[in-house]
């Protein structure tokens, strides 16, 4: 499945300079990891964003935002933001800042052994 390369490049540019930045194919798109923790990404033509779970309901009221739900069980703290929500530099920067703040507090997931 293809994803929006222009949005991915916008994210790359915004995140450049962050220590521990890496990219990983995920969600049929790309995820930008900071210190091995998913921060933001691109799924199709939307930004995937991790935030504080308790902020989810308030953030869903912003333009262009909806719950990220790939499994039928949406999780608080995971959002999709469409072009309307990230069109302006101010809005885009708001979301990047929010994701970076969350990433500082996020716990790295430990893979379970099979």
Which domains are present in the chain? Answer: 5-105 (3.90.1150.30)
The 10s digit of each residue's pLDDT in 62-105 is: 999 999 987 888 889 999 999 999 999 999 999 999 999 999 98
For 12-52, write each residue's pLDDT tens digit: 999 999 999 999 998 889 999 999 999 999 999 999 999 99
> In terms of DSSP bridges, do strands 37-43 and 29-34 run parallel, antiparallel, or are they unpaired?
antiparallel
* Residue 2 burial class via C-beta count within 10 angstroms: exposed 0-12, middle 13-18, buried 19 and up: exposed
The number of CA neighbours under 13 Å toward the Cβ of 101 is 11
Closest by alpha carbon to 68, among 55, 79, 57, 52?
79
- pTM comes to 0.89
| Half-sphere exposure for 27 (CA within 13 Å, toward CB) | 25
């Amino acid at each position: 499945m293809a994803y929006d390369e222009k949005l991915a490049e916008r994210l790359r540019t915004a995140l450049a300079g962050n220590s521990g930045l890496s990219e990983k194919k995920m969600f049929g798109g790309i995820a930008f990891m900071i210190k091995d923790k998913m921060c933001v990404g691109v799924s199709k033509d939307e930004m995937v964003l991790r935030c504080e779970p308790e902020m989810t309901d308030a953030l869903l009221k912003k333009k262009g935002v909806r719950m990220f739900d790939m499994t039928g069980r949406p999780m608080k703290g995971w959002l999709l933001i469409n072009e309307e929500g990230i069109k302006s530099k101010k809005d885009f920067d708001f979301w990047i800042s929010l994701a970076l703040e969350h990433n500082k507090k996020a716990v790295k997931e430990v893979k379970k052994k099979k």
